[in-house]
Structure 1
Amino acid sequence: MKIKQIRRMNNLSQAAFAKIFGIAQNTLSQYETGSRKVPPQLLRDIADRFNTTIDYLLDADQICDDRIGAALIEEREWQKISRRTVSEDTRIPYNDLTAYEKNDEPINLYILKILCIYFGKSVYEFYNDHGMYDEYIPQIFDGDVDKYERFKDARDEDAQKQVLDTKIINLNKEKEEFVTLYRKYKELPKDKQKIVDDVIDGFLPKKPKEALPDDDDID
């Protein structure tokens, strides 16, 4: 649960944070310690208020990769920035940054995005710069990992569109076949229609018979 972290990143006390969302301070304390489940609506309200995600608040976007810690340290050293400075500029608690760099705690994707923006690069660039991007980038992209990722997104989106278009075509084709069959049925003489009706009725489940009266109910 990252409610405490997002609260601290916005320089809010428990009392001030609780007042924003109309909850008791002791209730917020229980949410932060995980001793009480956070209502879904409150999670949505917090995410909307601070422009974050529910996955982050629930720790569902953690990146479990032992290479992250060394990469964060290496990036700071490249840019000649101290951990304290990063913490002050991004408002990410210093102790949390320390835990991420030492791999004592998995970093969240939301927090990594904040750090990458601070370092002036995308998450994919960060991964690629520190030998963590495990895919081969075709030469046509000149090593531009962001361009390659945008290409993959466009490719996947086009593939999904083609699948959807195929499903729509098949549904329309099936509908046309039923319309054609129905028109042929309507052109049949009444006696022939009855034969078709009897065949169809034979494949449909029978309605349950009504309960018969008891012998005592019969005069």
Structure 2
Amino acid sequence: MIKRIWTWWRIISVIILSMVILLFAGGLFRSFSSGDLVIVLFFVVTLMFLIYLFIECAFPKRFDCMKIVRKYLSFKELKSCIKKEQFNKFEFNDKSDSFSFYYSENWLFVRDVYIPRKMILDMVSFKQSLFSPYTFIGIITKNGEYVTIEKVNSDIEKIVVDSLLKNFAEFKNSVDVLKNVFSKSFFKMLKEEFEKEVTNKKDFVEYCDI
């Protein structure tokens, strides 16, 4: 289920970024001798941006699949957990909208993100604006993260929500959670409370039963 780390586009990106970083590093050293602070600042800012891109491309801990678990598991450990699971495919089919994701006894795999099922706080459905014709269906986790399941036409929202509620016991579509979906302080509070309860890898594995 885990996608390959070193796809061709990632390998090429890392090689190109490495070469460009070396070129700009050389330019930075040469710019010091010119004494022009504007040029020096340009090279410093550009190098910082390029190094950030390089880290994003090169290090597995920053992959989207680890969005929920990266504070507690390494990529290798996540891969080991996933290998023990038997995944099934959930599919919603409608003439106007269709989507799918994978699930096992202990995990959901949604939009390339692995979510331990015991970390799911709730599923929510909401519009980003009052007059929007679309409804976002997503998952809020107990450590204050959000993962979109799908954006669907609002006229089939109830059908989608009912289907998800029927198939996944951890989904409640609670009004109390929904009313906080746009509150940054709510997500911050969830994160802080979770980190107080789950302080290390051992706690996390026991909490999620993985």
- TM-score bucket of the superposed structures, by smaller chain: under 0.3
TM-score after normalising by structure 2: 0.25
In our comparison, the structure showing a higher alpha carbon Rg is 1
Please state which structure has a larger fraction of its residues in helix. Answer: 1
| Bigger fraction of residues in strand | 2
**TM-score with structure 1 setting the length:** 0.24
